[in-house]
């Protein structure tokens, strides 16, 4: 006998067990008054027959699609596929599928992505906003993953604490002049990391910030950062606000004949997939993406169940901050005594 392409339906399961279709439906959905023993029998038999619930049918019954949207700011950045994987895993564990939309680094594209996901009937959205922009009103619950300074934020890595971890690490190695390297002055995440580094400086330490976007407006994309000159000025540590900027710093310094970490130290943020395998391996600060994703999806699922919407943004009593973890590798080491001599000469 040929079987249906969609597998056994509720009617076949009901006939096999001598119960009504309504009883089978209630047992599989957890609704209605069906004894626990019968529920177990029905579910076991459905599994034996290879029954797979129809998502379309469930959507018609519940008014929910069982799908979450995920809006990323720029999937070309290697950090965001890592975040997407964590969100998909958390969503799957909660019984949801995920549709991904990419803002491609553009605020207008972010708004379009949100609207497309709403049109496709997602039950809710996780949004990592572009440059901490306010999230426009949307007809579904939203969880925001960014930084505590972002309006409507749901959960965040504690970027400020991560910056303090870097400052404490470099201070403990004897570094006194630190160049902070960021690529986006408008990023709330990067500004929080800068604030954390500065707040963690010990007495006698000095830090300056180099913004790559400002430098490239004059020198063009990919222009030299002038880091060798900064070494001559007595800077012995380069604290990049992402591993991407740290790799750029490593490359430029090594090409200039600067030895890392014997001459200077370089640190990053995010612990990207290649950070342990570059030479030297990169000291960085890691986000606990599994915990962040779990909190975001759990909060979103609660909001979907409660239909708790206010201006499209998920309302939480308190922003949850997830601690970052310092990962010490080969790119950071004790300050070179020569850099301290240079520092004294520049005072």
Alpha-carbon distance 157 to 165, whole Å? 13
User: What residues contact 333, with CB distance under 8 A and at least 6 apart?
Assistant: 173, 261, 262, 265
Alpha-carbon distance 78 to 57, whole Å? 37
Mean pLDDT, each 10-residue run in order, the chain (347 residues) = 49 85 77 79 82 55 75 90 94 92 83 85 88 62 84 87 98 97 92 97 96 93 96 97 97 97 97 96 97 93 71 59 97 82 47
Sort strands 325-327 and 284-286 into parallel, antiparallel or unpaired: antiparallel
Cβ atoms of residues 227 and 246 within 8 Å: no
Which pLDDT value is given to residue 136?
Answer: 55
Give, as one character, the DSSP assignment of residue 66: S
Which pair of structure tokens corresponds to residue 11? 């009617």
Cβ atoms of residues 128 and 100 within 8 Å: no
Alpha-carbon distance 37 to 40, whole Å? 5
Which pLDDT value is given to residue 2?
Answer: 39
Alpha-carbon distance 210 to 269, whole Å? 16
Domains of the chain in sequence order? 10-53 (1.10.260), 67-157+289-323 (3.40.50.2300), 159-286+327-346 (3.40.50.2300)
Alpha-carbon distance 337 to 343, whole Å? 10
Quick check: pTM over 0.85?
A: no
For residue 280, is the peptide bond before it cis, meaning its omega torsion is within 30 degrees of 0?
yes
Which pLDDT value is given to residue 344?
Answer: 42
Which pair of structure tokens corresponds to residue 333? 């080491």
Dihedral of CA atoms 10, 12, 17, 22 in degrees, nearest 10, equals 30
Terminal Cα-to-Cα distance of the chain (whole angstroms): 90
User: What residues contact 190, with CB distance under 8 A and at least 6 apart?
Assistant: 182, 183, 184, 241, 242
Which pair of structure tokens corresponds to residue 321? 């901050």
């Amino acid at each position: 006998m040929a079987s249906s392409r969609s597998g056994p339906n509720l009617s076949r399961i009901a006939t096999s067990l001598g119960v009504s279709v309504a009883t089978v439906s209630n047992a599989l959905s957890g609704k209605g008054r069906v004894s626990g023993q019968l529920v177990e029998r029905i579910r076991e038999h459905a599994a034996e027959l290879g029954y797979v619930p129809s998502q379309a049918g469930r959507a018609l019954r519940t008014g929910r699609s069982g799908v979450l949207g995920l809006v990323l700011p720029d999937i070309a950045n290697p950090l965001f596929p890592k975040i997407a994987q964590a969100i998909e895993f958390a969503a799957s564990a909660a019984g949801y599928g995920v549709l991904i939309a990419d803002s491609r680094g553009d605020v207008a594209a972010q708004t379009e992505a949100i609207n497309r996901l709403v049109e496709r009937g997602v039950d809710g959205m996780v949004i990592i906003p572009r440059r901490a922009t306010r999230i426009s009103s949307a007809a579904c619950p939203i969880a925001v993953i960014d930084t505590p300074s972002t309006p409507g934020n749901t959960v965040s890595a504690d970027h400020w604490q991560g910056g303090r971890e870097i400052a404490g690490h470099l201070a403990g190695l004897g570094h006194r002049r630190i160049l902070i390297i960021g690529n986006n002055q408008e990023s709330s995440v990067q500004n929080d990391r800068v604030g954390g580094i500065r707040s963690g400086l010990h007495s006698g330490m000095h830090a300056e910030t180099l913004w790559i976007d400002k430098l490239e407006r004059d020198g063009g994309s990919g222009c030299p950062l002038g880091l060798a000159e900064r070494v001559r000025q007595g800077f012995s540590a380069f604290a990049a606000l992402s591993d991407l900027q740290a790799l750029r710093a490593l490359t430029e310094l090594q090409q200039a004949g600067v030895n890392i970490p014997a001459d200077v130290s370089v640190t990053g943020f995010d612990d990207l997939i290649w950070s342990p395998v570059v030479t030297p391996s990169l000291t960085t600060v890691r986000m606990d993406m599994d915990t962040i994703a779990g909190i975001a999806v759990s909060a979103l699922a609660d909001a979907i169940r409660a239909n708790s919407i206010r201006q499209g943004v998920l309302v939480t009593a308190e922003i949850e901050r997830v601690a970052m973890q310092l990962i010490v590798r080969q790119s950071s080491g004790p300050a070179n005594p020569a850099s301290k001599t240079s520092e004294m000469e520049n005072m």
